[in-house]
Structures are given as C-alpha cells and as structure tokens.
Amino acid sequence: MRKIQMVDLKGQYADIKDVVNPSIQEVIENTAFINGPKVHEFQKNLENYLGIKHVIPCANGTDALQIAMMGLGLKPGDEVITADFTFAATVEVIALLQLTPVLVDVNEGDFNINIDAIKKAITPKTKAIVPIHLFGQCANMEAIMEVANEYNLFVIEDNAQAIGANYTYKDGSKAKAGTIGNVGATSFFPSKNLGCYGDGGAIFTNDDDLAHTIRGIVNHGMYRRYHHDVVGVNSRLDSIQAAVLDAKLPKLDSYNRARQHAAKKYNASFKGIQSIITPVTVNKGCVGICDNCDCHVFHQYTLRIEGADRDALAAHLNESGIPCGVYYPIPLHKQKAYADDRYNEADFPITNQLVKEVISLPMHTELDDEQIEFITSTIIKFING
Ligand SMILES: *Cc1c(COP(=O)(O)O)cnc(C)c1O
C-alpha cells in the first residue's frame, strides 16, 4: 500500500505534470511574471466556471476576505457576524480592519453558521455576515440572504473550502458556492480543492461597481497609474500560480468527484458503528448522507467521535501511519486574540462540543480503496476496543 497522506499533492502532480509543466514553462519563457496573460486567462476561465461576472485574483484567501470587506466600505466599529467554529483568517481580517467581530455558534449537523444565532446577534451596528462554507458544503445561504435583505446587511462568503460546490435553492435551481452573497472570497492554498503551487486567492462578485472598486484596492488603490484614490494593498496572483491554476481548473469537477467517492466509501464503512457520526449534508436539494450529489465537495472529511476518546484515537492513527487532523481544536471566542467579555459561554454550546469531538481523516484526489479500507478498519478496531 502507498504511504497515506493527509493531502497527496505529489500523486496529483504526477498525474497532471504533462499539462502543468508546459503551462508554467510558457510563463517563464515570456517572462510576464506579474499580471501576465495567464492571469487574465485563468480569471476568464474561472468566471465561466463559476457563472459569475467578475473574478479578481489576489495573493491569498486571507487577503481576499480583507479586500472584500474594504471594497464594501466597512468602517471601524461596524459589527460583522461570523462563525465561532472555523479557521481564524475570517475573524482575523475583521479585527485587523478595526471592525467588530461578532462570533456566533454553528449547527451540529453541517458545522456551518447557525441562522438563529445570527438573528440573535444583529444590532443596529451590524453591517455584514460572513458565512464560511466549512469543510466543503455551503452554509444555509437562502436563510442568510433573507436575513441580510431584511436588515440591509452585506454577505461575504468565505469560500476557501468549497470551490466547485453547488448550492441548491428550495425551488431546485443551483448556484456555485461563493457566488450568492454580495461577494465571495477564496483561497488557492496548495491543499485546497483548487490549489496552486504557492499562495493564491480570488474575490468573486456580480456587482460591476464593487468589482471596479476592488480592482483598484488590490493594486494600491490605483484606478489610473500613479493616481491613488483610496487606500489599497498590494495583492496579486502571480502568473506562474495562474498557470498552475489554469491547468488544474478543467480538472476541478473530477477532483471533487474523487473526494465525494472517498467520502462515500468512508460513510459506508462507518455505517452503524457506535460512537462515530459521519458527515451530514443538509443542503435543501440533498437532505441526509451525500451519495450522489454535488453540494458537498469534502475539503475535509470530518467525523464526530461521541462516547469514545477522540484524542486517543488520533494518537493511535498517527502511530498506525494514518495522518489525521483536528479542525478546529479551540473555538475562536476562546482564542487569546479574539476573546472578549461580550461573549457568554451559554451562547456556544455546539462549538464547545464540536472542538472535543471532531477528527478529520485523509481526504484528497488520490486516495485509493486499499488505503480507505486500512483507515476505516483501523478506526473501527480501535473504537470496538
Ligand atoms: C484556507 C482558509 C483561509 C485562508 O486562505 P489563505 O490562502 O491561506 O490565506 C480562509 N478561510 C478559510 C475557511 C480557509 O480554510
């Protein structure tokens, strides 16, 4: 059996070398390293794939979130509601811009931001909601957009973990994750579902004016050369990364299907095993366990371990040559940087529980059946003692 990796970028590269290498070589030959034609080509191709009017490439996913908030004109003191159970980048940029982060609890089922908690947290100062499509599946966007419309709030989708996922509306129509709110932000960090070979990110929007504003912000606030109309940043996707992404984009759907296939195998093996709760997909078009749908793209395959020792299981897996991860071990409202007297423990029952239960298993495009069988049997043996 091949060595099991949490994310197998080497295996994936071996498979796409013939496409990626010439794409990179072309950039090196024509030396247009910054804002070269590859960046523009990738931008257009991603716009077509997502069915969105504007993609603005930038340097990484954290920048994408920050620039989205700058573009919307959020001002110090504005309150921004986001989830307590996620990676810190989202709350980090809110705090960095001197906006006020308002962390709220998530759902037990899909790990995504809880709509009642959002409603409860709205004040006259609230200006935006940032749902994170955690682990590869969309937050409840229809409900979020309804609340946002009612209270006149912006919605910024953190789509770093769900590129390619579809959101199905109640009426059956679909939209790509990240294209539903006012603006979407994504990351092309190497381990993401669409990853480059370094750092990269992008912002998506259908709003022409916002796209124009953001194109200036990413380029030092310039709309005309050496005329700085607003305070901007320097955040670019370099041409070599665009070349990698443009070579990989046509594969994104098959990559996501490979992840879904692995998830389905995992689900089947764990069926009926005490103490193991497999991931739940709750998209309106697809209630229950995701078998044949495109609403969950499994950036992570995350189990909940109830009534067994999660940390002992993690240690046992590592000893057995099976990498695993705990995403995320500490609620954001308990992190030193983001703790605040405003928060009340009683408002975070789910996050406080999830951080003790979750464990993410190897998930990537090259997992084979033998590896999955070894991983699942090792876990089941441990659980059954
Ligand atoms: C990876 C990630 C980010 C940040 O992306 P970078 O490209 O590493 O800056 C933001 N939000 C979430 C949910 C992520 O998973």
User: Which domains does the chain carry?
Assistant: 9-104+111-250 (3.40.640.10), 252-384 (3.90.1150.10)
* pLDDT recorded at residue 283: 65
CA pair distance 221, 67, nearest whole angstrom: 11
CA angle 339, 341, 346 (to 5 degrees): 90
Q: Identify whether the C-beta of residue 322 lies closer than 8 Å to the C-beta of residue 360.
A: no
Residue 200 carries which DSSP code? -
Q: Is 87 in the pocket of ligand 1 (CB under 6 A)?
A: yes
Asked whether residue 254 carries a pLDDT value surpassing 70, the answer given is yes
- Ligand 1: residue of 92, 93, 187, 328 to mutate (most ligand atoms within 8 A of CB) is 187
- Which atom number of ligand 1 is nearest to the Cα of residue 134? 13
Strand partners, 126: 79
Question: What is the arithmetic mean of pLDDT over 180-185?
Answer: 98
Distance 370 CA to ligand 1 centre (A): 31
Residue in the block written with tokens 């990110």? 201
Q: Is 136 in the pocket of ligand 1 (CB under 6 A)?
A: no
* pLDDT recorded at residue 377: 97
Asked whether residue 286 carries a pLDDT value surpassing 60, the answer given is no
Q: Is 186 in the pocket of ligand 1 (CB under 6 A)?
A: no
352 Cα distance to chain centroid: 21
* pLDDT recorded at residue 275: 95
- Ligand 1: residue of 85, 86, 87 to mutate (most ligand atoms within 8 A of CB) is 87
Q: Is 189 in the pocket of ligand 1 (CB under 6 A)?
A: yes
- Ligand 1: residue of 84, 130, 138, 189 to mutate (most ligand atoms within 8 A of CB) is 189
Strand partners, 304: 277, 358
* pLDDT recorded at residue 309: 96
Helices 9-30 and 37-50, axial angle in degrees (round to 10): 130
Indicate if the alpha-carbon torsion angle 332, 334, 336, 342 is positive or negative. Answer: positive
Q: Bigger pLDDT: 284 or 108? A: 108
Q: Is 160 in the pocket of ligand 1 (CB under 6 A)?
A: yes
> Considering only CA atoms, which of 238, 232, 196, 240 is closest in space to residue 215?
232
Token code pair at residue 342: 């405003």
Q: Is 281 in the pocket of ligand 1 (CB under 6 A)?
A: no
Asked whether residue 90 carries a pLDDT value surpassing 60, the answer given is yes
CA pair distance 166, 292, nearest whole angstrom: 13
